[in-house]
Amino acid sequence: MLFCSWEAKRLISLAIPVFLAQVTLILMTVVDTVMAGQVSATDLAALSIATGIWNPLMLALQGILLALTGIIAQFSGSNDKQGISHYFQQGLYLSLILSFIGVLVAGFADSVLNQLDTSAAITSLAEQYIYFVKWGMLGFLLFSVYRNITEGMGMTKPAFYISLIGLAVNVPANYVFIHGKLGFDAYGGAGCGIATALVFTSMALTQVIYCHFSKKVNARELLANFALPKFSTMWIITKVGIPISLATFFEVTLFACIPLFIAHLGAVAVAGHQIAASVTTLLFMMPLSLSIAISIRIGNLFGQQHFEQLRNAVRTSYILAAVIAFMLASITFFARDIISQLYSDNPEVLALASSIMVLACIYQLPDALQVSANGILRGLKHTAPIGYITFVSYWLIGFALGFVLARTDLIVPAMGPHGFWIGIIVGLSAAAIMLMFTVHRRFKHAPFLQNQ
């Protein structure tokens, strides 16, 4: 069977709440940007620089804990509550260790900021933001553990509802700490750091309360007889999670670095690129959500040892990813001019952003296929290839080719921003081919996954 409609419905039902939760989290970033921008350009610049340092750190640590989704999905599929309980408890210990590492590393942010060629006011605000937001690291990682456990058990809706609570906390908290209300000092853009730390903490508390009172999760039972730390288990989680973390880090830093290499072309080039990058980041939430749903479904089926159904799920995942890619490409192509006008009224910027978005249409298919293959490998707990494949694809192929096309005349006359986007297309295509081939080899060489 090439396509299973029941599997497609199951994947979509898992993916939609994840997508809504991801969009809600992005809206928090939009709120921070808008509210800080209303204070001054200095506050907005400080927020941009601070989050450029903070987000890769936060996402890298979260990426390690994402291993729990596939692990728990397998235990859930085999109805192994003891396994879920054990990894849940050790995941909590690991989140404490990672939080300590995160706070420690964030303490060196001032050294990085002082190396940047920017004003003292911007540097000071950025340092304050990171100082404030780092105290929300523990809340964020605890939320991540509980979310991954819940999603691994096939429940993706709670994270969406809890992210709405986070958004509801974010807006008034920003207002209070940016402008100095209710007796608090006015911190300007740095106040977003306090607000974000409070958001992470409130989301963690809400997630904990939900899981402890939910009959489906029954966290009180899972956390009963709390065991001592077992570093061998924490290492298993870390070993599975590090390639996921590296893949996230390579992708985040790739898009973060491109503006630095086109800055010499002027504000129009950077602005046009940023508009296209902002739009595609939002659209990427759909295939990313499908990838998370795929990892859950594949893990469940693997745990149930329904290997033939698992193969159907893999084929269905690819087809569904292709359909979503076609839909996103169509939206991007036909609405590119209208979307660009939401960001700027500069004709040159609009023209550049619109032309870049045409290129973005092309990479929707390889992007959707590579994250789907990524989800399959995570569900199988076969994550080791993900790290080096994404590094080779994104940086050694995508960025290197993009740099040559954008900045040199070696192949064609220097193309500017378009060169980097062509590099991205080639890099994502290489990632899709290599990751899908890795999935194929996994099925071919693992006896329990072969056709019976």
Rounded to an integer, what is the distance from CA 240 to the centroid of its chain? Answer: 17
Distances (CA, A) of 167 to 162, 207, 348: 9, 14, 35
Q: Print pLDDT tens along the chain (452 aa).
A: 566 778 888 888 888 998 898 888 888 877 777 777 777 777 777 777 787 778 888 888 998 999 999 899 999 888 888 999 999 999 999 999 999 999 999 888 878 777 766 677 778 888 888 899 999 999 999 999 999 999 998 888 898 899 999 999 999 998 899 888 888 888 888 888 999 999 999 999 999 999 988 888 888 888 888 889 999 999 999 999 999 888 888 887 787 777 767 766 776 777 777 778 778 878 888 888 999 999 999 988 888 888 888 888 888 999 999 999 999 999 888 988 888 887 767 788 788 888 888 888 988 899 999 999 999 999 988 888 998 999 999 999 999 999 999 888 888 888 888 888 899 899 999 999 999 999 998 888 765 555 44
User: Which pLDDT does position 446 carry in this prediction?
Assistant: 65
Provide the CB-side half-sphere exposure for 138 (13 A, CA).
Answer: 9
User: Which pLDDT does position 452 carry in this prediction?
Assistant: 40
Cα(76)–Cα(279) distance, rounded to whole angstroms? 36
Strand, coil or helix: 215: coil
Residues 321, 9: contact at Cβ < 8 Å? no
Cα(159)–Cα(217) distance, rounded to whole angstroms? 13
∠ at Cα 247 (49, 166), nearest 5°?
55
And the tokens for 383? 């994550």
Cα(138)–Cα(164) distance, rounded to whole angstroms? 20
Phi (first) and psi of residue 268, to 5 degrees: -65, -45
And the tokens for 318? 């690819």
Q: Hey, CA dihedral for 254, 258, 259, 261, is it positive or negative?
A: positive
User: Which pLDDT does position 33 carry in this prediction?
Assistant: 74
Strand blocks (E) in 19-132: none
